[in-house]
Amino acid sequence: MQVSLVPLQKKLGYQFQQQALLEQALTHRSCKGQHNERLEFLGDAILSLVIAEALYQNFPKTREGDLTRMRASLVKGVTLAEIAKELNIQEFLRLGPGELKSGGSRRESIQADAVEAILGAIYLDGGAEACRERILQWFGSRLLSIQPGVQKDSKTLLQEFLQGRRLPLPVYEVTEILGDAHDQTFTVKCTVDGMSAVIASGSSRRKAEQDCAQLVLEQLKNES
């Protein structure tokens, strides 16, 4: 049974004239029929342009390197997956039986790709300005809160902190993996010379490592 896409379009803030474009944007390559990879390619390019323009206008004195890092932070997969959840896109994804069984709708990469594909579909359906309006609406709070020079992740900041003091680099070790392949929790231990080991858990190894690094950074800064 086909799921009505009316609730999704209300969330998106956009009513499609060509419903088939939205259906294609939600269709993963594991599903029969036209999938969303070409739309994703288009949406990725449009998203990068609109975000670049917004940052260029909002930060007239910021250097190119900082603008590039800010844009990368806004258009990265983790951010797009957050937006997908805010728009409830995962409820409308069309996946093949195998991907559906393995919990693909919860996979951040699939959600992020769908956001870009939907943007590509909006561009084809309503034009550049309609697509630009949706991007600025969906990314509005993030564009307001982002600041130059704060886009480095916790692992990079910790590494730079230690290198600046000529200290050994941290060692990360996965100590436990729980759950099924599509829904795992990783526990990571971070060891830094002269400190007790710090442990954190997350839905991916990368997230757990980043959380560990953040905790270590906070401890080091409190001690210094």
Q: Tens digit of pLDDT for each residue in 190-224?
A: 999 988 999 998 878 888 898 899 899 888 877 76
- pLDDT at residue 6 tops 70: yes
Active site residue 180: no
Nearest to 204 by CA among 221, 179, 169: 179
**What is the homologous superfamily of the domain 6-145 according to CATH?**
Ribonuclease III domain (1.10.1520.10)
Query: Mean pLDDT in the chain?
Result: 90
6, two tokens = 């009316």
Dump pLDDT digits (tens) for 64-115. 988 998 998 899 888 898 899 999 999 999 988 877 777 766 778 889 999 9
Residues 6+ apart with CB under 8 A from 84: 90, 111, 112, 114, 115
Q: From the candidates 44, 108, 113, 211, which is the catalytic residue? A: 44
- Percent of the chain exceeding pLDDT 90 equals 60
Whether the pLDDT of residue 62 is over 60: the answer is yes
Structure confidence at residue 137 as a pLDDT band (50, 70, 90)? very high
What's the pTM value of the predicted model, to 2 decimals?
Answer: 0.72
Q: Where do the domains of the chain lie?
A: 6-145, 154-223
Whether residue 203 contacts residue 184, with contact meaning beta carbons closer than 8 Å, is answered with yes
Strand order in the sheet with 185-191: 171-178, 185-191, 198-202
Our answer to whether residue 116 is catalytic in this structure is yes
**C-beta neighbour count of 205 within 10 angstroms:** 15
pLDDT of residue 150: 65
Query: Who's near 175: CB < 8 A, 6+ residues apart?
Result: 187, 188, 189, 199
Per-residue pLDDT tens for 7-31? Answer: 999 999 999 999 999 999 999 988 8
**Cα dihedral sign for 132, 135, 137, 140?**
negative
CATH code for 154-223? 3.30.160.20
Quote the pLDDT of residue 106.
74
Residue whose structure tokens are 């995962």: 90
Q: Pick the catalytic residue: 23, 99, 116, 209? A: 116
The alpha-carbon radius of gyration of the chain (Å, integer) is 20
CA-CA-CA-CA dihedral for 211, 212, 213, 218, to nearest 10: 90
Please check whether the two domains, 6-145 and 154-223, share a CATH topology: no
